[in-house]
């Protein structure tokens, strides 16, 4: 039975829709609210954002006319329990309200970590439109979820989740995964800054730091790290190849060099530039003669390498699919099943001792994906921990920051979760699939 029918049946049985709390009413959050509003059997009943007008605006743009505001938890909880809708400025209230699932759409690692932890400890399912948090402490959050009985998941619609669906499709058909990846939407300029992109961001009605995280490659590195950890795949090379190609050429390019491609091995994630975006892809292999005959007959080529391609991902429009997966089935769409990849940080310019790093998409650093083993061995600092960190010595442009270069605020939720995760992973940077998985409800 499709989710639509099951959600309606649940509403008939319980007398209410699935209640969803949202943190972050920016571009992604606003689209999420509008789409959920169209789906029978679920409702966004609470929105938290530092800008209260943005929170109420997202709800009213979706057709919610009566929105209660304030900071009295008991009063707000009563409104939600009675079928009303609330908007708040304090993101910590989202998990305390009587909701079934909390979605974080801030893209801020610290807020995502705090929202996820509070939600799981309160027994709430949690979904992240915040891959930045997942690639920093997602393995730890998955372990906490497994103990709490709640679901931790990244949301559908973003490249990691949709590429993982292709990986699972190919694996279920006994194809060997050679490479999984995405097309990058814009040229790669690692030194791009939020300040330098301010005019373009204004034209596109985007947050300048968000746009900078796309242009400087941080977002792509983060997404492919999440995919590597969810699919138990390696990293093709530090920083990915960014090879310019087309969809028909994917299986010619992303194959081992011994067979004419660019990879030094199979079983990795990578990124393509050119007219592959906004799609996602998997290159897989089969050496079975009869399968190869059938694949050629079906127009998939002579093999043994084949491309499976999805030409779109629908971001916040698809994200609501992860709600019934969690609430009805107790299932995570995508979470770390292994710890194969990390995202470190390169300096966008020469940085001086005493400077404070302004975080992802800012003027100081860009993301660099590498294997978890390499990041640990070389002492690199995860990108998600660097917002607010202070340089303790000068570094040159493009230097990948190490723990000896910066002083990190260890009092944050994400830093404390990361410290615990590092202790649990110590000596085991690659965790076998199955460890830390969330059990079905």
CATH architecture of 3-158+317-329: 3-Layer(aba) Sandwich (3.40)
Q: Strand pairing partners for 125?
A: 101
- CATH classification of 341-425 is 3.90.1210.10, yes or no? yes
Q: Which residues contact 295 (CB under 8 A, 6 or more apart)?
A: 286, 301, 303, 306
Q: What are the Cα distances from residue 33, in Å, to 3, 56, 107, 327?
A: 18, 11, 16, 18
Q: Which residues contact 82 (CB under 8 A, 6 or more apart)?
A: none
Structure tokens at 168: 């699972």
Instruction: Enumerate the CATH 3.90.1210.10 domain ranges in the chain, comma separated.
Output: 341-425
Cα 391 from Cα 220, distance rounded (Å): 25
pLDDT attached to residue 430: 53
pLDDT in tens, 188-207: 899 999 999 999 999 988 88
pLDDT in tens, 338-351: 999 999 999 999 99
Instruction: Enumerate the CATH 3.40.50.720 domain ranges in the chain, comma separated.
Output: 3-158+317-329
pLDDT attached to residue 413: 98
State how beta strands 125-128 and 152-154 pair.
Answer: parallel
pLDDT in tens, 38-94: 999 999 999 999 999 999 999 999 999 999 999 999 999 999 999 999 999 999 999
Instruction: Name the pLDDT band for 428 (thresholds 50, 70, 90).
Output: low
**pLDDT over 70 (residue 432):** no
Mean pLDDT of 255-273: 98
pLDDT attached to residue 435: 40
Nearest to 326 by CA among 438, 215, 435: 438
Instruction: Name the pLDDT band for 439 (thresholds 50, 70, 90).
Output: very low
HEC per residue, 309-367: EECCCCHHHCHHHHHHHHHHHCCCCCCCCCCCEEEEEEECCCECCCCECCCCCCCCEEE
Cα 250 from Cα 421, distance rounded (Å): 36
**Length of the chain measured in residues:** 441
User: Is there a cis peptide before residue 58, judged by omega within 30 degrees of 0?
Assistant: no
Contact between residue 25 and residue 49 where contact means Cβ atoms under 8 Å apart: yes
pLDDT attached to residue 295: 98
């Amino acid at each position: 039975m499709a989710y639509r029918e099951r959600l309606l049946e649940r509403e008939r049985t319980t007398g209410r829709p699935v209640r969803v709390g949202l943190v972050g009413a920016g571009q992604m959050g606003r689209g999420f609210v509008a789409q959920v509003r169209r789906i029978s059997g679920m409702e966004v009943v609470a929105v938290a954002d530092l800008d209260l007008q943005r929170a109420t605006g997202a709800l009213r743009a979706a057709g919610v006319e009566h929105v209660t505001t304030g900071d009295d938890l008991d009063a707000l909880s009563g409104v939600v329990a009675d079928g009303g809708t609330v908007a708040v400025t304090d993101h910590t209230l989202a998990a305390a309200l009587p909701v079934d699932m909390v979605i974080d759409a801030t893209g801020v690692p610290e807020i995502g970590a705090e929202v996820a932890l509070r939600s799981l400890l309160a027994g709430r399912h949690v979904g992240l439109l915040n891959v930045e948090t997942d690639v920093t402490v997602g393995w730890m959050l998955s372990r906490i979820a497994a103990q709490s009985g709640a679901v931790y998941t990244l949301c559908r619609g973003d490249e990691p989740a949709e590429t993982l669906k292709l990986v699972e499709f190919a694996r279920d058909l006994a194809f060997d995964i050679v490479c999984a990846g995405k097309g990058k939407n814009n040229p790669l300029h690692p030194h791009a800054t939020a300040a330098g992109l301010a005019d373009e961001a204004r034209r596109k009605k985007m947050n300048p730091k968000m746009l900078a995280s796309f242009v400087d490659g941080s977002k792509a590195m983060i997404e492919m790290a999440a995919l590597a950890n969810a699919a138990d795949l390696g990293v093709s090379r530090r920083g990915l190849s960014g090879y310019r190609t087309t969809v028909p050429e994917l299986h010619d390019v992303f194959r081992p060099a011994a067979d004419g491609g660019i990879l030094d091995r199979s079983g990795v994630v990578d990124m393509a530039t050119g007219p592959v975006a906004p799609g996602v892809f998997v290159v897989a292999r089969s050496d079975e003669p009869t399968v190869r005959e059938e694949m050629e007959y079906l127009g998939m080529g002579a093999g043994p390498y084949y491309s499976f391609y999805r030409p779109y991902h629908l971001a916040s429009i698809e994200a609501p699919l992860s709600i019934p997966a969690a609430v009805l089935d107790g299932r995570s769409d995508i979470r770390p099943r292994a710890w194969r990849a990390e995202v470190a940080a390169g300096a966008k310019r020469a940085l001086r001792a005493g400077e404070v790093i302004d975080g992802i998409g800012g003027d100081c650093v860009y993301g660099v994906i590498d294997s978890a083993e390499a990041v640990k061995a070389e002492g690199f600092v995860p990108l998600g921990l660097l917002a607010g960190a202070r340089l303790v010595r000068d570094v040159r442009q493009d230097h990948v920051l190490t723990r000896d270069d910066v002083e990190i605020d260890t009092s944050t939720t994400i830093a404390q979760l990361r410290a615990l995760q590092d202790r649990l992973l110590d000596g085991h940077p690659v965790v076998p699939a199955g460890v830390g998985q969330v059990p079905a409800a």
